[in-house]
Amino acid sequence: MRVFGIDPGSDRTGYGCIDSDGTRHQLVRCGAVRAGSAATFAGQLSIIYRELTALLAEHRPECVAIENIFHAVNARSALKLGHARGVAMLAAIEAGLTVVEYTPAEIKRAVVGYGRAEKPQVAQMVKMLLGLDAVPKPLDATDALAVAICHLHNGSALAKAAALKKPAGLRSWRHYRP
């Protein structure tokens, strides 16, 4: 199963693509879309949309996992983040992909085992789970990979991947006919 994770942001939107057979995960690609501060906000959103659309077309994942907003101290920052999330979701939906959302606590719990883990803990676990030599840079990419790993660790995603491996018509031993 191939999952594309997105950590939305108006300045930098992290992305990470992972292949998994249900037991082992392998990094396909990760990075960040940098919109640049010189562009207008609308221009930044356009850059995010175009870059994500191209990445989704190139890697053709089965679904997109995106971090959900849980709360923000600054209303203006929350609104900008919401716009960036919307643009990322639009890119995924227009590519015909299923979009699933996870809160930061769900992501940390799935990756580290503790919903209030710190960013360095999440980064180290992403490195270990993917068998990497170093923590992926920038941290926006690491966060996006954590979102994808969260989806892969979600029971329904693993069940779907396992079902795809079984031969058609042999979903259970009860259906076997010699």
Distance of CA 52 to the CA centre of its chain: 12
Residue of 51, 67, 106, 143 with catalytic role: 67
Residue of 21, 94, 118, 140 with catalytic role: 140
Strand order across the beta sheet in which 25-34 lies: 25-34, 12-20, 2-7, 63-67, 98-102
In Å, the largest CA–CA distance within the chain is 68
Cα 113-119-122 angle, rounded to 5 deg: 40
Residue 67 annotated to the active site? yes
Residue 118 annotated to the active site? no
* CA separation for the pair 45, 84 (Å, rounded): 6
First-residue to last-residue Cα distance in the chain: 31
Residue of 7, 51, 106, 143 with catalytic role: 7
Residue 7 annotated to the active site? yes
Residue 121 tokens read as: 């803990």
Asked if 66 and 101 count as a contact pair (C-beta separation under 8 A), the reply is yes
> On the CB side of 76, how many CA atoms lie within 13 Å of its CA?
1
Active-site residue list: 7, 67, 140
